[in-house]
Amino acid sequence: MTTSTTVTIAASMRGGTKDYGSGDAAVRALDGLDVDIAQSEFTAIMGPSGSGKSTLLHTLAGLDRLTAGESWIGETQITGLSEDKITQVRRDKIGFVFQAFNLIPSLSARENITLPLDIAGRDIDPAWFEEIISILGLGDRLTHLPAELSGGQQQRVAVARALVARPELIFADEPSGNLDSRSGAELLGFMRRAVKEFGQTIVMVTHDPTAASYSDRVLFLADGRIVDEMREPTADRVLDRMKQMGH
């Protein structure tokens, strides 16, 4: 394990608290959580169902708002920003890969990939686009509509879309959850390469120890708090740790 002297923080949260519902029915999903996501690192968030891992991802990414506490994307504090400003932050600094339904059905693969740039009105960097496409092996699939792609191909298009705008951060929510093990391994391999080769920062929520083993650092969540973390994980070590947590 190497120790880095200056770690740049890509995103962070202090005292993050999120309640759902109110009164007796209130559920606390995040309970005063502190976290820092280091730049150019592949961070996995794990935890049993209901531990708050999805909520953490959503609030960090500005898709949902904290009940209390603060969070930052890079230097920008997003708690307290207006909806429009947060949308702009998402557009300019964040990429997403969801478990399913990542693509707009009426747009071709190429149009889906360039969607974030189109929205922002930015130009495409052709060299970068070609590089992503060749790494992800999508060259002959660009004119197809999502319905004409396999599940693995669809997820790769989603990763390409997340990468193309060179966002500061990519948030992935169970990206391999719907894929067979081979396609899943392939996809996670691509994501790891993006971190290693391009210095991309990725935060991924998963409950699959094998998926988590592709990351640099695993955060374990329980009851809305970070209870442990693990560097350079392997699938076995993650599984052991999860068993301890009573998973």
Partner 1 sequence: MFRLAVKSVRHNPKRLVLTAVAVALGVALAAATFTLTNALSGGFTKLFEEIYAGTDVIVEVDPDADPAEEDPFAATESVFTGADVDEVAAVDGVSSAWGGRQVMGSVLAADFEPTNDVMAGGGPPSQLFNWAGDPRVDQATLVEGDGPAADDEIVLDLDSAPNLGYAIGDTVSVATEAGVEEFTLVGLVRFGESNSLQGATLGYMTDARSAAINGDDGYEQISVIVEDGANQDAVAEAIGEILPPDTRAITGEAKAAEQTEAFDEILQYIDIFAIAFALIALFVGAYIIVNTFRIIVTQRTREFGLMRAIGVSGRQLRTMILLEALVVAVASSTIGIVVGYLGALGLSTLVEAFSGDIFGTVTLPLDAVLWGYSLGALVTIVAAIMPAIHASTISPMEALRESATESKKPLRLRNVVGGALTLLGVLAIVVGLYMDIERPYIPVGAGAMILIIGVTLLAAQVLVPLAYGLKATLTRIFRVDGKLAANNIHREPRRSANTAAALMIGVMLLALVATFTESMKSLVTEQFKGNSADFFVFSSQGAIPTGAIEVIEGEDGVAYVTSTGLGTVLLDGGTTNVGVIDPETADLAFDYNNEPDFDQMDGGVFIDPSMVEAGYEVGDELTLEGPEGTATLTVTGRYLNEGDAQVWIDEDTGHELLGDYPLAQSMVVLDDDVDAAEAQDQLLEALAVDYPLVVLQSPGEFEQLANQFIDLLLGIISAMLGAALVIALLGVANTLLLSVTERTREIGLLRAVGVRRRSIRRMIRIESMVMAIFGTILGMILGVGLGAALVRALEDFGFTTITIPWVWLLLYTISAAIAGVLAAVWPARRAAKLDILQAIAFDG
Minimum distance of partner 1 from residue 231's CB (angstroms): 30
Cross-strand pairs, 205: 45, 173
Token code pair at residue 212: 């988590």
The residues that touch partner 1, with contacts defined as CB under 8 A, are: 58, 63-64, 83-84, 87-88, 90-92, 94-96, 98, 100-107, 111, 115-116, 118-121, 147, 161
Residue 200 CB-density burial (10 A; 0-12 exposed, 13-18 middle, 19+ buried): buried
Are the C-beta atoms of 33 and 224 separated by less than 8 Å? yes
Minimum distance of partner 1 from residue 213's CB (angstroms): 27
Cβ distance to partner 1 smaller for residue 83 or 140: 83
Minimum distance of partner 1 from residue 107's CB (angstroms): 7
Cβ distance to partner 1 smaller for residue 37 or 94: 94
Cβ distance to partner 1 smaller for residue 116 or 209: 116
Residue in 64, 31, 165, 53 with CA at minimum distance from that of residue 99: 53
DSSP 222: E
Token code pair at residue 110: 């190429």
Residue in 194, 220, 210, 230 with CA at minimum distance from that of residue 56: 220
Cβ distance to partner 1 smaller for residue 58 or 247: 58
Are the C-beta atoms of 103 and 158 separated by less than 8 Å? yes
Q: How many CA atoms lie within 13 A of 32 on its CB side?
A: 0
Token code pair at residue 127: 């060299």
Minimum distance of partner 1 from residue 153's CB (angstroms): 15
Minimum distance of partner 1 from residue 218's CB (angstroms): 24
Cβ distance to partner 1 smaller for residue 102 or 200: 102
Q: How many CA atoms lie within 13 A of 95 on its CB side?
A: 27
Q: What sign does the dihedral 224-228-229-234 (CA atoms) show?
A: negative
Cβ distance to partner 1 smaller for residue 71 or 213: 71
Q: What SS3 state is found at 227?
A: strand
Minimum distance of partner 1 from residue 127's CB (angstroms): 23
Residue 143: which residues within 8 A CB-CB, separation 6 or more? 108, 109, 110
Cβ distance to partner 1 smaller for residue 37 or 86: 86
Minimum distance of partner 1 from residue 180's CB (angstroms): 14
